[in-house]
Chains A and B, each alone.
Chain A
Amino acid sequence: MKRILLDGGTAYTKVYFLDEGGYQIIPTRRFKELRDDFEVELATGYNVSSYPRRVNELVALAEGGFALIDEPDFTLLDCGARDVKYVRVEGGKIVEMDWNTECGAFTGQIIELLTNYFHISLDKVPREAKRIPVTCGVLGMTKMFDLIAGGAPYEEAFSGFLKGIAHNCFLLVNRPRKLYLSGGLCENKAFIESFECSVIPLGRFVLLEGLKRCYFRKGGD
């Protein structure tokens, strides 16, 4: 049985192998079939309530930020499949944090759904599209479909939608000049370029880095 640290997301599960090192991303539905193959030493994320040793996601995110960002002041935003959360650090101290779970259609999953539904190539998303006002993913989609019904190309409407979501995230984190990004949307160049500030993607394992910090500090081997 492999000992792991686990970030159990809604769409994807991220694991870190404690014995041999290394990371893996597994679709969450698939992971549920495989879970007996793993011994979970420490877990975070939406789908981890059954594991006895857990760290809440904001703590994991903050610890991940401290592990990866060598600056006294930073803002780190995690865009997951169904929620967004962030921490703002000043002088090495957390001064702000928030976690939006109320609007489940807010971020990653709806972007993935739209990309697949319209067969949109992210390389072809125009950067100059006008931002759509997006209250949440679902309401934003209605505006996007209005544009498409009016004759706009899919990619242009989608670009406006992405900009709307990026704008919401930008407001949520209080308009920083530089933003560190974690989560699946780090791999979405069009999303990153939709922000009104400099964005530095840290990848999908930031919460696992946070878990590592917690785990090894507690004396895991």
Chain B
Amino acid sequence: MNEMGEKVVGIAGVPRWETIEAYLKDGYTIIDLDNPLPGASRDERILPRIYCPILRRVAENAFHLSRSGKLSLVLADVGEGKCDGMRYLASEFELAGIPVLAERNTNMRGAGFPISVSDLPLRRKMELIVDTVIKPLPPGLKLRRTKPCCGFWGVPPYDFDILDLFPEGTHIYGWTRCMENKTPADLSLELSVDPDVPTVFFAHSFCQKTALAYNLARRYQGLFVEVDERLTKATVAKIEAFIKFNVR
């Protein structure tokens, strides 16, 4: 329990559901540090300016919660399901006095990915998948599988506005699909695409996944885009042009 009497666990990446569930049963509030947090602001004392924007956000959120006395613990996946950066950051948290439970989620029992292949708008799909890390799907939600006309490969983006550029019928691939499947370390699933579906391979700048995105885009004649935080005009233009000339 923290000094405010609240019990908050901040998670990073996709820790094992069993661990998250145990904290929920103990009455903890779970906050996903990968997502925007009201009140947390840019803080360049924590990490270099040139760094993965998601890890910067995790760090800023964690320190913000810690400084305000709300954070009991950071539960972080520091293994193949996340990245070396998170492992280093977890050690930094510990040095700064923030309790960390570091684990490696190597689960390979797939829970399925009906949201990724459903007919929902891409932004809604992404919101739901991100939410599934800490809570079940909304009751009554109906997911109808569609045939893909376009693909979005990658992690949940720092700036969700990129998702609004995609047409209806866009399927989700890559690590986001692994997230939904509860198998964040499943590289085989992460590399799976539909070769005939025009796909945008997205990665954050300064993330190791740029190598995967770059080479998959070359292999499947998709579009590689890397984005550091917010969308640029050039990235918007590239995606719009790719969709215009490739999606029927």
Contact = CB atoms under 8 A, between A and B. Distances in A.
A98 interface: yes
B244 A98 contact: no
Nearest to B240: A56
A100 B234 contact: yes
Contacts of A156: none
B contact patch SS: helix
A54 to B, nearest CB: 11
A99 to B, nearest CB: 4
A99 B234 contact: yes
Interface residues of B, number: 14
Contacts of A94: 241-242, 245-246
Contacts, number: 41
A98 B242 CA distance: 10
Interface residues of A, number: 17
B234 A97 contact: no
Given A95-B221, A101-B232, A56 B245 contact: no
A58 B246 contact: no
B218 to A, nearest CB: 9
B238 A97 contact: yes
Contact of A56 (B223, B236, B246): B236
A155 interface: no
A56 B237 contact: yes
Contacts of B244: 59
A57 interface: yes
Among B232, B234, B240, max chain A CB count under 10 A is at B234
Nearest to B221: A95
Interface string B205-221: 00000000000000001
Contact of A97 (B232, B233, B236, B241): B241
Contact of B241 (A62, A100, A102): A62
Nearest to A90: B221
Given A94-B246, A95-B221, A59 B233 contact: no
27 contacts: A56-B236, A56-B241, A57-B237, A58-B237, A58-B238, A59-B240, A59-B245, A62-B245, A83-B234, A87-B241, A93-B221, A93-B245, A93-B246, A94-B241, A94-B242, A94-B246, A95-B221, A97-B223, A97-B238, A97-B241, A97-B242, A98-B238, A99-B237, A99-B238, A100-B234, A102-B232, A102-B234
Interface of B: 221, 223, 232-234, 236-238, 240-242, 244-246
Given A56-B237, A101-B233, A101-B234, 11 more contacts: A57-B237, A58-B238, A59-B237, A59-B240, A59-B241, A62-B241, A93-B221, A94-B245, A94-B246, A100-B234, A101-B232
